[in-house]
Amino acid sequence: MNKNMKLVIIGGVAGGATSAARARRLNEFADIVMFERGEDISFANCGLPYYLGKVIPARDYLLVSDAEEFWDRYRIQVKTRCEVTAIDRAKKEVVVTNLNTGESFREPYDKLILSPGAEPTTPPISGIDLPSIYRVRTIPDIDRIKTYVDQHKPKHAVVVGGGFIGLEMAENLVHRGVQTTIIEMMNQVMAPLDFDMSSILLGHLESKNVTCLLNTRVEGFSEVNGQTKVRLSDHSEIACDMVILSIGVRPEVKLAQKAGLALGMKGGIKVNSTMQTSDPDIYAVGDVVEILDRITQRHMLLPLAGPANKQARIAADNVMGRRAVYKGAIGTSIVKVFDLTVANTGLNEKILKEMDIPYLVNMTHQASNATYYPGSQLMSIKLIFSPGTGNILGAQLVGIKGVDKRIDVLATAIRGGLTVFDLEELELAYAPPYSSAKDPVNTAGFVASNILKSDISIVTWKDFLEIDRCTHTIIDVREKEELQKFGMIPGADHIPLADIRSHIEKLDKNQYYIIYCAIGLRAYIACRILTQHGFKCRSLSGGYLTYSSVMQALSKSQ
């Protein structure tokens, strides 16, 4: 430990503030200085939308720490409203501008940690700098939005982008009584999800009167008679009172580029496993760096607070002479969208196809806890796994209750190298208010294992839409009342599960049978019966619930 070390940290929030505090805990005697160009060094940026919606009632709740507390607790000098404009690597100094006074000065360093974060993407669209167009990154950003909503009571808002922040902002605008439209250039909201899981979310958004325009680009903005006009790629226009831009972020690498630090293929700062840049005395953490995907071993950008905090601790350890290694991430995330919780971990189908990695999927829908106990809610789990080995490649969950618990179990399983066969045997906490004796994670493992053991053959909704109806017969094994209430797949025959055995003599062994029910269990039982009688059959993964949700989403995304 070098007691005389001078550590300079650029940027606060998750990366910078965490690395500063960790560095002090490891070295009581080092001179530590942190520069932050904003007014707040450590704030809950993930909580900004909820402050707008008054779910978080007071602005102060967003403030994690301030400069005075950092000095009192850690003896760390924090200089806010100070922007580092250059790094002189030869002299080992940073050039700093005081944004309040305009004066510049130089600060020497022995080691430097970069945590400038990411900046909102701002495409070159006409009118994008109109005062009615807002971005969400800092507390001053949300202050401006909340002040406008409080004072002007807007009737209609447009949110451009259907990702995490866009959906959270849409929800909280609706909480404030603002009619909201989401414009998304993709054919779905929430890009980390696959289309089938996103379709559940789309239906929920529309049930909350949020209009979602998919496959739609914004071509420009203009102001007419006090309203903002949003010009769309189909040449139509939407009139609104305010616009929230939420179309992604990009790593803020200007300072690093100017200093000659190496960048990676994704445009972030290139670091090694110790978070060290191409300069051995400079480290970088958070949204600005490229990190390793633990599953594919490729580099990626991952603007999430959890990984940023872990990287910050590791960078501080190495700066202070304690060897630590960052082993990469799997991209676990979660978001609340009105009544739903949406979560994912690992890889989705889009990435697997792009990388030509073989995979299998299964979709299960199960109650969050014992159905005889009040309050159980249906939870949808999509499990993605390797053929043969059953290695878990990814998982996506959508539900009202218990999603956070299950995504964490599955993320831990991926991290620990468990397989779907291990999921069958996981011993998870059970009591009727919290789960079932066979937890939804266990059930996802049962179904995946059945597929790998050839106890069941499934057809996904994508494959189902392409089957030859001349050679395939579709059988609905639900009860008649369910068909009348929920509808059925066009062209399907109806044979309730209880009647399957009595119809065996009437079925044709030269036909392929696709069996479905509401969520998959009865179809599985029917397939087991028919398979053992010599019939060729497959179960529609996720049942009618998945099929109907996808079909509704497809009709809106064409």
pLDDT band at 121 (very low <50, low <70, confident <90, very high): confident
Is residue 190 over pLDDT 70? yes
pLDDT in tens, 56-82: 999 888 888 788 888 999 999 999 999
Of residues 67 and 185, which shows the higher confidence score?
A: 185
Is residue 555 over pLDDT 70? yes
pLDDT in tens, 267-304: 999 999 999 999 999 999 999 999 999 999 999 999 88
pLDDT band at 225 (very low <50, low <70, confident <90, very high): confident
The residues, any chain, with a CB within 8 Å of residue 548's CB and separated by 6 or more, are: 486, 487
Of all residues in the chain, the percent with pLDDT exceeding 70 is 100
Q: What is the pTM of this model?
A: 0.93
Q: What is the pLDDT of residue 158?
A: 97
- The catalytically annotated residue of 46, 82, 470, 537 is 46
Of residues 63 and 552, which shows the higher confidence score?
A: 552
Instruction: Find, among 289, 352, 292, 364, the residue nearest to 326 by Cα.
Output: 292
Instruction: Find, among 414, 66, 137, the residue nearest to 287 by Cα.
Output: 137
Report d(CA 476, CA 520) in Å as an integer: 11
Q: What is the pLDDT of residue 1?
A: 65
Report d(CA 542, CA 112) in Å as an integer: 51
pLDDT in tens, 243-256: 999 998 899 999 99
Report d(CA 451, CA 137) in Å as an integer: 45
Is residue 12 over pLDDT 90? no
pLDDT in tens, 164-178: 999 999 999 999 999
Average pLDDT over residues 123-138: 92
Residue with tokens 């009709």: 555
Instruction: Find, among 352, 300, 309, 366, the residue nearest to 330 by Cα.
Output: 300
Average pLDDT over residues 429-452: 96
By DSSP bridging, strand 118-120 and strand 249-251 are antiparallel
The residues, any chain, with a CB within 8 Å of residue 458's CB and separated by 6 or more, are: 362, 451, 538, 539, 540, 541
- Intra-chain end-to-end CA distance of the chain, in Å: 61
Report d(CA 525, CA 518) in Å as an integer: 13
Q: What is the pLDDT of residue 32?
A: 96
pLDDT band at 106 (very low <50, low <70, confident <90, very high): very high
CA 47, chain centre distance (Å): 15
Based on the residue annotation, tell me whether 82 is a catalytic residue of this protein: no
Average pLDDT over residues 412-426: 97
The residues, any chain, with a CB within 8 Å of residue 431's CB and separated by 6 or more, are: none
SS (H, E, C) 122-151: CCCCECCCCCCEEECCCHHHHHHHHHHHHH
Q: What is the pLDDT of residue 45?
A: 82
Of residues 556 and 478, which shows the higher confidence score?
A: 478
Is residue 260 over pLDDT 90? yes
Average pLDDT over residues 428-442: 96
Instruction: Find, among 287, 255, 251, 289, the residue nearest to 269 by Cα.
Output: 289
Report d(CA 536, CA 543) in Å as an integer: 18
Q: What is the pLDDT of residue 379?
A: 96
| Mean pLDDT for the chain overall | 94
Is residue 88 over pLDDT 80? yes
